[in-house]
Amino acid sequence: MSFTILFLCPHGAAKSVLAAAYFNRLAEQHGLPLKAAAAGTEPDEVVSPVVVKMLQSDGIDVSQHQPRCITSDELEQAQRIISLGCPLEALEIAPERIEQWQDVPLMSHDPNGSRDAIRSHVEALVAQLRAATN
């Protein structure tokens, strides 16, 4: 299956993982035929342990997720591209195709605030997509 929503953060190990996990769960709950992927421009070796623990407390297991680098094919094929802190010049695609969620705090400074902001954005995105398909 090709992913239709791409969540990007520089290291592909925290914000994008949270966003994709919450999106995929909500999309499934609401019967949306969409899948999200998480990736980065300079991926870390592993998902942030803080993110793994946060998502585990919400019943989502990302402990086996492997951060990875975004590909140009994925960027071209995605219906939506959402950046959580990636420098746009690092992405080889027209900047107007990229939505930016710039109000999400850094995970390293405010993990709970970051999670809450991401969850709020994802809920709004799913509501928007549901309205568009009805």
Question: Domains of the chain by range and CATH?
Answer: 5-133 (3.40.50.2300)
pLDDT tens for 68-96 read 999 999 999 999 999 999 888 878 888 88
* pLDDT band, very low/low/confident/very high, at 114 (cuts 50, 70, 90): very high
Please tell me the predicted confidence (pLDDT) of residue 1: 43
Q: Has this prediction a pTM greater than 0.85?
A: yes
Please tell me the predicted confidence (pLDDT) of residue 61: 96
Beta strands in the chain (DSSP E): 5-8, 36-39, 80-83, 98-100
Please tell me the predicted confidence (pLDDT) of residue 107: 93
